[in-house]
Structure 1
Amino acid sequence: MKLIIRTFLLIILTSQLVNAQKTLPTLKTNKTSISIQEGNSEYKDVWEISPEVKLDVFVANPFRGTQTIVFRSDIDSISFTVKPNKKYDFIILLNGKDKAYTQISTYSKAKPSLEPKLFYTRLKKANTQTDTIPFTLGKDNWIHLKGKINNSDTVDFLFDTGAGICVITSSIINKKVNLTIDGSEENGGTDGIATVDKSAKNVIEISNLKWENVPLLSINYQKPTFDAVMGWVAFENKIIEIDYEKHILVVHQFLPNLSAEYTKLPYQLIGGVPYIKCKLVVNKKEVEGWFDFDSGSNGELIIGQKFARDNALNDAMKNIGTSISVGSTGKAIKNNKVILPKLKLGDYEMYQVPLAIQEQEVEGDEHNENIGNNILKRFNTIIDFKAGFIYLKPNNLFYTPIIRN
């Protein structure tokens, strides 16, 4: 008799579990990448669903009171008003058949799944909708900004559109800038992936702007000409104008009126940084690919060995020697340097452009094509981080020699 009762109870509990699973809220999708809105912060295509995993847990950043978290797919959305130290379960249904069981966790002691977005405030009130930051274009082809970290003396920032986070040079920590190392993180560069130290909450001031709760990676750059790196994420959801003639960086809230001289290029985020399409023309053959739009690279063009091999580019151009490139991990990459006959960027063409072809594939980097600031500086640029477009207009550097002595 006891056995029958236990079996009956088991049937009831199983039935309840099945019914609970059936009543879970469901988000429909035809793509594996899901966008997330956490409070006022938007994260596009950051959540990769995995139906094969028993339970995918998204951990929210700490907050007080209540907060809205929205998961958005290509065809649907689901919204939760959440409270601290709670769990919220739902299902993501892929292609109408594959279920990915997902949970939102708001437990404050768990490591958040996403970095908090960066927002700036003005140090002084200004009667304008734009913010202007002066910069110096160095002989190293980099954009240099002057600012402070944690109320330090003046710090030299490199403005890097190819960086999805902010960085401090290891050698100045607790010498020029005081901060606390309280974690570590994997950092990916053009030369591979490395684990580096991290400081979670810092304050950056540049011109009239102030960012709080800024995470900084500590990278041991060799003989750097800068103290820190300001990644593009500091201006997310803004519109950035880089004027290489006036030497100013202007932050717009809305897209300004543009002349017909600007060419419009869509970009996509790959590995957290913007990539644009470039066309390489060799022997009347046109090759197209996505290139990292990288003001943090002081070179011209780089392509990975796989890209070169797939497009038969290894022996297709005039060789002018070899070069060594070094990314944020400090690894030296040997390149064969050639002359590209023609480069197309939107409506514009450039001729006899130096191109570096990596001799070997870089481990952990599938997209290793890069367009550096020795080319980008020749265009006044507007980057619309709201709509996902980059606008280029040739400036007074356009016809200056590209090849450096």
Structure 2
Amino acid sequence: MPQDKDQSKLVTVAIHTYEKAQILQSLLQSQGIPATLHNVNTVQPVFSTGVRVRIAERDLPRALAYIEDLKWDLDEAYDVLQEKSDLANESPDTAHVAAYKGYVLIPVDFSSYTDKIVKLGFHFAARRELHVLLMHVYTGTMPQMNFPYGDFTALLPQIQEASQQEAGKAEQQMTELSKEIDAKMADGSLPQVTYRTTIRDGIPADEILRYAKRNLPAIIIMGTRGKTEDSDYIVGSVAAEIIDRAQAPVLVVPEKIAIDDLMQVKHVGVATSFDQRDLVLFDQMMQLMKPLAPEYRLFNVSRSEGKWGDVQLQAIQEYNKQQYPDAHIEWSKLSEGELYAALEEFVANHQVELIVVNTYKRRVLAKLFNPTMARRMLFHAGTPILVMHSNSSR
């Protein structure tokens, strides 16, 4: 009998350490959603990093909805089960940054567009008189060799050597980046900003989120590869994980974007659904963007006619005039039809250089993280996205 096509196609819903992946696998299976673990070290599973939790593509909407409805945080549950805390691993520099009331968190991976992300983050920090924390997370690798299980102890020297090599490489790259930053601040190509660095071993998204949750930044600014044909990458990407689970605003900048300073942004598109929480998050966004003054253009998340009546539009226009008398705020209704095409048209017609999305509706976020929707909207055509989070929903 031929195999069901839907069942044969698997997608990744999360990338975790082995222990966390096991927890999520058990939770999904308890809901009748078959889940498998991939990239598990066959010699010693507990040393596996970057373990993928994979499910049938047809189960993706149900799985995402269930994950969004969880009343507890997977990281917190894991930490409780393991009875551990990484506070003791704080370096003096990182602890110093944690004492600051406001800072910009910039995850870096030393890729070709790291310089652009650093420049954007430093300009943002300088205007707001904030400090910067540059964070790099490397994932120590377990040698993939087919040794008998009983001979695992023979691998320990190789494990330690591989970990030391990864740590040494990361430290060297961070040192080189710091030298470049210091030189650019000295010659005036970067603004003078107080910054610190930290290097961690683990899963990038987990380590970034854990630190940001304990030391809430003013904003997280990070890069992404942008639009890709690999839907599996999008579902499990670091950027998607950070957007979904962070409590602070997240600015995601695609690799090929020309902008390296938000001051260059003249046209901002803001997704809204006429919810009262939109007004609160819009105000937070306006405060975050100060002293910049681009043109803001609201556009509808809902395609329902009832939510975009003349009364609602007039009311929100009057509200904006009263609250932000000096701001240039317009609105547009997306064209009917396929969302991607409508968004493409909106971005092109109004020269939108930044899209702002609110995430108080976690089911909406789950919908956006459908592989194709994530590729088409959140990592849309090289357009940066600023994600505003409601603390009340976290």
**What TM-score bracket applies, with the shorter chain setting the length?**
under 0.3
TM-score under structure 2 length normalisation: 0.26
Counting strand residues as a fraction of each chain, which structure ranks higher?
1
- Structure exhibiting the larger radius of gyration computed from Cα positions: 1
